[in-house]
Amino acid sequence: MLIKLAGTALAAVLALTLAGEPAPAADQLGTLLPLAPMGDDGLYKQNWMPETFLDFAEDLTEAAAQGKRLALIWEQKGCPYCKETHLINFRHPELVDYIKANFVVIQMNIWGDREVGDFDGETLTEKDFARKYNILFTPTIQFFPATLEEIGGRAGPRVEVFRLPGYFRNFHMLNAFRFVKEDRYRTQNFQRYILEKAAEARRN
């Protein structure tokens, strides 16, 4: 499977910021969350990722009613970096608590056959939705607008407000969710945002 960063510019930024990422405190090692169990489909199942009817217009509306944003995480059986996401990232309490408080995250299978309802009303399978939205590798996290009105008549990848492609460490993943929740994508690119956060971390 193909796992890569989105473009050389982002890769360069991450190379610079990795050195500035704060190391976890020693006492955090005892506070990791339990590893999620694996489902019959070969994907790890987080109990805070809801099972829905996969009608994404309805899911977004329900998320908005809770004051949250909708995100989709794409995985596949046997994906080593999907495993890392659950083994490392989703066992980190600060990250998980932030996601649970501010997002509804739905797990998707890039090769799946479940029926989904797209925002434009089209009904298709998971794998066809992945092709429609150019989901090329796993893990990938898609972030969507706060309301259906913001989507308007857009379809496909243009519906997204941000995408996190590939595996990222806790610092980058947490700040990706913050980047969307704070609506910073409206006025700033993620590269600049993550550089700012890395500089703040070094000062602290």
Q: What pLDDT, on the 0 to 100 scale, is given for residue 153?
A: 85
Ranges of H-type helices in 19-147: 56-65, 80-87, 93-102, 126-132
Is 112 strand, coil or helix?
coil
Query: Which of these CATH numbers, 3.40.30.10, 3.30.230.10, 2.40.420.20, 3.40.50.720, describes 46-203?
Result: 3.40.30.10
Mean pLDDT by 10 residues, the chain (204 residues): 39 41 44 96 98 98 98 98 98 98 98 98 98 98 97 93 97 98 97 95 88
Task: Report CA 133 to chain centroid distance, whole Å.
Answer: 15
Query: How many degrees, rounded to 5, is the angle at CA 140 between CA 135 and CA 146?
Result: 95
Q: Yes or no: say if 73 and 79 are a contact pair by the CB < 8 Å rule.
A: no
Domain ranges of the chain: 46-203
